[in-house]
Amino acid sequence: MRSRGRYHRAAGLVVLRTVWIAVCLAVLVISGIAWSTVSTISTGVERSYAIPDDAPRSGSGRNILIMGLTTRLDLHGEPLPDDVLRRMQAGESDRGGYNANTLILLHIPVSGPAVAMSVPRDNLVPLSSGGEGKIKEAYGRAKIAEEDRLRASGVHEKRELERAGREAGRRAQVQTVSAFLKQPIDHLVEISLIGFFHIAEGLGGVDVCLRGAVKDPLSGADFPAGPQHLDAAQALSFVRQRHGLPNGDLDRTKRQQAFLAAVSKRLKGADLTVVQAMIDMAKQDVVLDARFDLSEFARNLPSEVRFETLPVEGGAKVGGQDVNVVDPDKVRAKVFELATAPPPPPPNDGVPCVD
């Protein structure tokens, strides 16, 4: 079994798709956006019925499951334009699959700060479809199974298969995470890799600071040392890089936190053009559950969102794959602890310099 410290660092990724929630919170608060505009966002975003009306609900506060997919396809399963893929520098459209590589339970209490709890993607858990697997695989496995079932029944229209398959994936992912954490899921937010790119693009890029020059052909990162402004493609490379850094995933975690700080700083001077860019991004890159009322959400926004990572015990090989070994009781105790008494936020000194 590999060292616990190594897996704690790998589990510690504050993964880039969480930025969408942070951006929405900041845009709504900082811009004083009108409820009519919030309503426009709410009606323009694609909706999911993966959480049924009779599903268990939180008794105090709300739990929102944020799912970040690795797919390079759009919401309808169509390839992204070649020029977008080229600017993203994240590979071809057939890369990524439908793993939910980002899983975050965002707990919003009745009062006080919210806490975003990252669920490490390689945790070995019971899947809602049966058997064990990495928690991130619940979505993709269910999607494939549903599409196979529909094809066997005579359905072959591509978009219909994509829609039904992704709904099955969302249901499976919600059920798997809910059962693992023993927490009801009130709402879901889904976003894929292109959403992050559009966030950085809509903001006109972000400011970062590097302690030393880096060059990594795998992520496309090629930056000098010191403060600098990154465009959308460079920002994506900045947060994706882990090869060639002193502490690998640990340094990538710090970069993602630095990106969040940069986004927050940028939004303090946000104008209506930036707000509109965020709205446009949400309409093309985001899926919300059918009951998610953004107007109500905006009226009850927490003043702070704090990021934490749920614990793992170590690592093992199962079926030739590396997995995280977890103690469900310890994980659930940590969720309860964070939901009832989240830790204080770290000091905010602007955009930090990172490796």
Residue 145 within a domain? yes
In angstroms, the first-to-last Cα distance of the chain is: 29
The predicted pLDDT at position 280 comes to 72
- CB atoms inside a 10 Å sphere around CB 276: 12
CATH number of 73's domain: 3.40.630.190
Tell whether 348 is covered by a domain. no
Give the pLDDT of the chain (355 residues) as one tens digit per residue: 444 443 333 333 333 334 444 455 444 443 444 545 555 566 677 899 999 999 999 988 899 998 878 776 777 777 777 777 776 665 554 555 788 877 888 898 888 888 878 888 889 999 998 899 999 999 999 999 999 999 999 999 999 999 999 999 999 999 999 999 999 999 998 887 777 777 778 888 889 999 999 999 888 889 999 999 999 888 878 877 878 887 655 466 667 667 766 776 676 666 667 766 666 766 777 888 999 887 677 666 666 777 778 888 888 888 888 888 999 999 999 999 998 876 665 555 556 788 8
Look at residue 199 and tell me if it is in a domain.
yes
Tell me which amino acid residue 339 is.
Answer: A
> Does residue 350 belong to any structural domain of this protein?
no
Could you tell me if 332 and 105 are in contact, meaning their C-beta atoms sit under 8 angstroms apart? no
The answer to whether residue 43 sits within a structural domain is yes
Contacts of 265 (CB under 8 A, 6+ apart): 207, 350, 351
Asked if residue 347 is part of any domain, the answer here is no
Kind and range of the H or E element at 17?
A: none
In which domain, by residue range, is 191 found?
4-340
- Which of the 8 DSSP states describes residue 2? B
Is 351 a member of any domain?
A: no
Record the pTM: 0.79
Counted domains in the chain = 1
Q: 3-class SS at 66?
A: strand
pLDDT at position 55 is: 93
Measure the CA angle with vertex 75, ends 72 and 76; round to 5°. Answer: 105
Q: How many whole angstroms separate alpha carbon 248 and alpha carbon 2?
A: 16
C-alpha–C-alpha distance, residues 295 and 64, integer Å: 16
243 within a domain of the structure (yes/no): yes
